[in-house]
Homo-oligomer: A and B are copies of this chain.
């Protein structure tokens, strides 16, 4: 029996145990080839099948229409912050950014290296504790694209509706909530997501890009930083992060087996409802930090009456095998990250622990 704790880490995060066990097996020997998945050629038929199955499963799970490419690359979402404007913000041009937290702010900083950034909406005035109404965000005439961050890991806010940007391409950083609910992917010109929260391990970033948007990309940039290179070569222009892609593929199969995005959404909603009920029900000892309408299902921050109690809470929770509950170093407090693979039993265990802790320390 494998020892397992309830892992509330914000990413890298919990993966399904059956995925880990299959990955472990393939790390020693894959497909009867007498080689590890880490040792086979990325140009072999066996790896191509891994990659193509993964791409097909992503398309199926998202219900992606024709005309999109699904790519896998290294560098994390932080590299995407630069690749998006490098590819799509023409010299002298501008792009719209919606600023809802640290990751949006970093994306804005990188975009400013390449052109003008119009921050068309922001929740910075209240420490990112709410979300601007996506339907009320104006689109700047001539903007090359509109950039939005769907879920804000640090502040715990999440969009469940997106701006209608008309003919202006909509670009989304979905690193921390991709595939956690059923959304209309066809509204987006480009979606990027570091894998290490909902869809795999660290070391690979998924990029979904509409081919007509790709056609507008800047061609005078380094080969590896062109989305077109990755799309045209099915992520095989150079050696891709093969092991990480393999595990993303296993997670896709696990999702399909478990009911796809609709089932993920129902489960994630139930988990989040349970935890928010524990926070709200435990008030004033526990206090959510996010406005009601903006609450994330993925990352749930909460505070206790003092930093001393928060420290004690995190320490005692860890001793009870509830780990990773410390808030981001930039905001403090507590945070529970409960992505797709996080079991509802773990949320129940946390809710029970919270009740008990409040009784003893309240």
**B202 touching A239, Cβ below 8 Å:** yes
Given contacts A20-B28, A241-B203, contact A42 B12 (CB under 8 A): yes
Closest Cβ of chain B to A30, distance in Å, is: 10
- Residues of B within 8 Å of A203, CB to CB, are 74, 203-204, 240-244
B12 lies within 8 A of A323 (CB): no
Q: How would residues 155 to 199 of chain A score, 1 for a CB under 8 Å from any chain B CB and 0 otherwise?
A: 000000000000000000000000000000000000000101000
Sample of 5 A–B contacts (CB below 8 Å)? A5-B35, A38-B247, A42-B202, A78-B223, A78-B238
Check B2 against A41 for contact (C-beta < 8 Å): no
Q: Is A74 a contact partner of B79 (Cβ separation < 8 A)?
A: yes
Taking CB as reference atom, which chain B residue is nearest A23? B27
Interface size on A, residues (CB 8 A): 69
* Contact call B223/A110, Cβ cutoff below 8 A: yes
Among residues of B, the one whose C-beta sits closest to the C-beta of A43 is B329
Known: A39-B14, A242-B201. A113 touches B5 (CB 8 A): no
A202 engages B243 (CB within 8 Å):
yes
Chain B residues with Cβ below 8 Å from A79 are 74-75, 222, 224-225
Residue contact B28 to A2, C-beta cutoff 8 Å:
yes
The CA of A52 and the CA of B41, in the complex, are separated in Å by 29
User: How many copies of the polypeptide does the oligomer hold?
Assistant: 2
- Secondary structure call for the A interface: loop
Distance (Å) between the CB of A251 and the closest chain B CB? 11
CB pair B81–A224 under 8 Å, yes or no, is yes
The answer to whether A29 touches B3 (Cβ under 8 A) is: yes
Across the A-B interface, the 7 shortest Cβ-Cβ residue pairs: A74-B74, A203-B241, A82-B222, A5-B34, A78-B238, A38-B201, A24-B24
* Partner pick for A24 among B12, B14, B28, B238, CB 8 A cutoff: B28
Whether A12 pairs with B29 at a CB distance below 8 angstroms is no
Tell me the complex Cα distance, A242–B239, Å.
17
Q: Which of B12, B41, B82 contacts A40 (CB 8 A)?
A: B12
- Closest residue of chain B to A78, judged by CB? B238
Q: Chain B contacts of A125 at CB under 8 A?
A: none
Q: Tell me whether A215 is interfacial, beta carbon within 8 Å.
A: no
Known contacts A203-B243, A225-B82, A244-B203: A12-B34 contact under CB 8 Å: no
Among B106, B222, B238, point to the contact of A76 (Cβ < 8 A).
B238
Nearest-CB residue, chain B, relative to A113: B222
Task: Contact check, B15 vs A39: say whether CB atoms are below 8 A apart.
Answer: yes
Task: Looking at the assembled complex, report how far the CB atom of A270 sits from the nearest CB atom of chain B, in whole angstroms.
Answer: 22
CB–CB B11/A35 < 8 A: no
A221 CA / B109 CA spacing, docked (Å) = 11
Give the complex CA separation of A244 and B204 in angstroms: 11
Complex Cα distance A247/B244, Å? Answer: 13
